[in-house]
């Protein structure tokens, strides 16, 4: 506003100066009046000129303050958002730590049997193990599996070809091994665990799994289908029977083997087995 007044006053002063000069030249009586108006206009110009910078300065000084105030609000909002995010992250981490601790405590309270069963259930979900039941061709991939019976299960296994002919079957006394051909129907009364999954369970043999799942003595020597070099070391063994017993040295698991030696006996029988062979003991136990 003041700068506009200064500008208009300056123009007016110049105009009145020109009129006053013309009046003097033409010797008119208005010269004095024009000089007075010129003087007044000049005074107004000076007033406007003096106040104009003050107004600009005020504007200049006011703007940064407003901006600073605005910036301060934005800064405060940013800090609040960061603090809130940090608090949420800390809360989430604390919750995760508490859940992990709780899970670890629950895991620590589990018995070896519960832990093993839990691990086997995981294998069932990844088709590395198969529960009791009937299966058709292609349901169970070809390969060697440990047969593990458990409380409440049966102990029978059979695989048939497409024509319904029995490829092989076995009524296990405890644990054993089978070879799945993937040729037809399978009836499984225990749990089949792929031998390649032993490492996942933290074991090296079907015997270990059987002992944990069924809570039997660690040095199990009763009737079973032992894999030599895995369940028992190679060597010479004496088998003692409960009445009429049976012992057989096999070249492979159920479904993929030849008989190397076998005998029905009542009393004691001695056999020698090598790594890779299988020792079947029925109605008896390994005494030495």
Give 157-186 pLDDT, tens digit per residue.
999 999 999 999 999 999 999 999 999 999
Residue 9 Cα distances to 36, 43, 181, 246, angstroms: 13, 8, 112, 131
Output the pLDDT for position 46. 78
pLDDT digits (tens, 9 = 90+) for 93-119: 888 887 777 776 666 678 999 999 999
pLDDT digits (tens, 9 = 90+) for 68-96: 555 555 666 787 888 888 888 888 888 88
Q: Distance of alpha carbon 157 from its chain centroid, rounded? A: 37
Contact call for residues 150 and 188 (beta carbons, < 8 A): no
Contact call for residues 267 and 241 (beta carbons, < 8 A): yes
CA distance 272 to 162: 37
User: What b/e sequence results for 213-245 when a residue is b if at least 16 CB atoms lie within 10 Å of its CB, and e otherwise?
Assistant: beeeeeebbebbbbbbebbbeeeebebbbeeeb
**CA triplet 45, 48, 49: central angle to 5 degrees?**
80
Give every CB contact of residue 252 below 8 A, 6+ residues apart in sequence: 179, 258, 278
> Max Cα separation, the chain?
163
CA distance 149 to 142: 20
CA distance 223 to 155: 13
CA distance 248 to 173: 14
Q: For residue 160, which of 131, 139, 181 has the smallest C-alpha distance?
A: 181
pLDDT digits (tens, 9 = 90+) for 28-75: 667 677 667 777 777 777 777 777 665 444 444 544 555 555 555 566
Most confident residue range from 13-27, 37-51, 134-148: 134-148
The beta strands (E) that lie in 220-267 are given as 224-227, 235-250, 259-265
């Amino acid at each position: 506003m003041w700068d506009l007044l200064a500008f208009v006053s300056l123009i007016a002063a110049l105009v009145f100066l020109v009129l006053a000069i013309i009046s003097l030249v033409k010797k008119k009586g208005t010269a004095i009046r024009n000089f007075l108006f010129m003087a007044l206009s000049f005074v107004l110009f000076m007033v406007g000129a003096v106040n104009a910078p003050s107004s600009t300065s005020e504007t200049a000084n006011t703007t940064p303050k407003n901006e600073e105030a605005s910036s301060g609000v934005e800064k405060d909002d940013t800090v609040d958002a960061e603090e809130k995010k940090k608090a949420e992250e800390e809360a989430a981490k604390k919750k995760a730590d508490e859940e992990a601790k709780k899970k670890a405590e629950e895991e620590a309270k589990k018995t070896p049997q519960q832990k093993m069963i839990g691990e086997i259930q995981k294998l069932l979900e990844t088709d590395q193990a198969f529960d009791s039941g009937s299966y058709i061709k292609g349901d169970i991939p070809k390969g060697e599996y440990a047969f593990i019976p458990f409380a409440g299960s049966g102990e029978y296994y059979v695989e048939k070809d497409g024509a319904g002919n029995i490829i092989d079957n076995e009524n296990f006394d405890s644990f054993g091994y089978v070879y799945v051909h993937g040729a037809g129907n399978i009836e499984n009364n225990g749990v089949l665990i792929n031998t390649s999954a032993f490492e996942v369970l933290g074991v090296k043999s079907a015997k270990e799994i059987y002992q944990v799942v069924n809570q039997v003595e660690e040095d199990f020597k009763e009737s079973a289908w032992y894999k030599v070099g895995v369940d028992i070391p190679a060597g010479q063994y004496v088998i003692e029977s409960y009445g009429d017993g049976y012992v057989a040295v096999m070249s492979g698991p159920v479904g993929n083997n030849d008989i190397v030696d076998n005998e029905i006996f009542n009393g004691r029988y001695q056999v020698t087995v090598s790594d890779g062979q299988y020792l079947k003991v029925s109605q008896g136990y390994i005494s030495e």
